[in-house]
Amino acid sequence: MAYDGRYRVEDIDDESKVVYFFPFKIKKITGTRLAPILGKSEFQSPFAAALDLAGIYREDIRTKNVDAGNILEPVLRSHMRKNVSSLIPLLNLPDGSKMVTEDPVPGEMCGYDHFHNEKLFGGLVDGYVAADGKRNAVLEIKTSGDRGAWTDENGEYTVVAEQYMLQASLYAELSRLDKIVFLVGFLNDADYDRPESWIPDENNTEIIVKKKLDMAPYMKEATEWYSEYMKKGQTPEWTDADENIVKYLKAYKPGKR
């Protein structure tokens, strides 16, 4: 559990399988929250996403995979910086374009949100790729232990999971850009135990360039979901997969609605 906001719970309705809460200081919809809200995440349900936005409960996903990703993000960004010229043909840019990798503003220096002008959507980007002094693409950094998840039927690295596409496409949309550069570092089992020793090279990294999704329908659906649940102070129905979260919430006795 990353934080405990059970005092915000007003009632837990077993019949309707809904949690009612006091809707104040609701968080913004970030790239990592978007897929769960839309029911397109393998890691989190819409019910859990609502509790996260309400500041009531968020599971602390501290695994060696997550830790390795956090440790290696700046390492992979540095690797991209050294090899950024390789993006010229991938981004269909003129030969000789001056390429740079732009580091993101650290989260602690921007309130953990790079999009303060947006009221409902926000989040933190991993960086940008710029050409001749102008941002050209959002940089999204991932680590993975499964090369097959990123390859198509021809063995080419072209596949990006829908939840990652939604995440990066939201940031591209908010950044007024239409391209995404995914930099993926592939780790072996032993690398997850000692990520500090992992060194990126041409054999254990891949670059996948994608055009952002048309975010209008996804953002519209998320906005409607936000109005239906978050503004009214209630969650979507929980499912069997959420039972442990419900048990945790019930350990704190809320007042009745």
Examine the domain organization and report whether 76 and 202 are in the same domain.
yes
In a domain, 223, yes or no: no
Examine the domain organization and report whether 49 and 78 are in the same domain.
no
In a domain, 227, yes or no: no
**Domain residues for 180?**
64-215
Examine the domain organization and report whether 23 and 118 are in the same domain.
no
Identify the CA nearest to 123 among candidates 49, 33, 43, 46. Answer: 33
Task: Compare 63 and 116 and report the one with higher pLDDT.
Answer: 116
Examine the domain organization and report whether 12 and 115 are in the same domain.
no
In a domain, 164, yes or no: yes
In a domain, 257, yes or no: no
Window from 17-21, 59-63, 174-178, 249-253 with minimum mean pLDDT: 59-63
In a domain, 224, yes or no: no
Q: What is the DSSP string of 81-120?
A: HHTGGGHHHHTTPPTT--EEEEPPPPGGGTTT-S-TT-SS
pLDDT-derived band of residue 63, with 50, 70 and 90 as boundaries?
low
Residue pLDDT, tens place only, 138-173:
999 999 999 999 999 999 999 999 999 999 999 999
How many domains does the chain divide into?
2
Examine the domain organization and report whether 36 and 126 are in the same domain.
no
Residue pLDDT, tens place only, 96-142:
999 999 999 999 999 999 999 999 999 999 999 999 999 999 999 99
Examine the domain organization and report whether 130 and 187 are in the same domain.
yes
In a domain, 178, yes or no: yes
Examine the domain organization and report whether 81 and 51 are in the same domain.
no
Task: Return d(Cα 113, Cα 124) in angstroms, integer.
Answer: 6
Task: Return d(Cα 211, Cα 59) in angstroms, integer.
Answer: 31
pTM for the predicted model, two decimal places = 0.92
Examine the domain organization and report whether 238 and 135 are in the same domain.
no
Radius of gyration of the chain (CA): 20
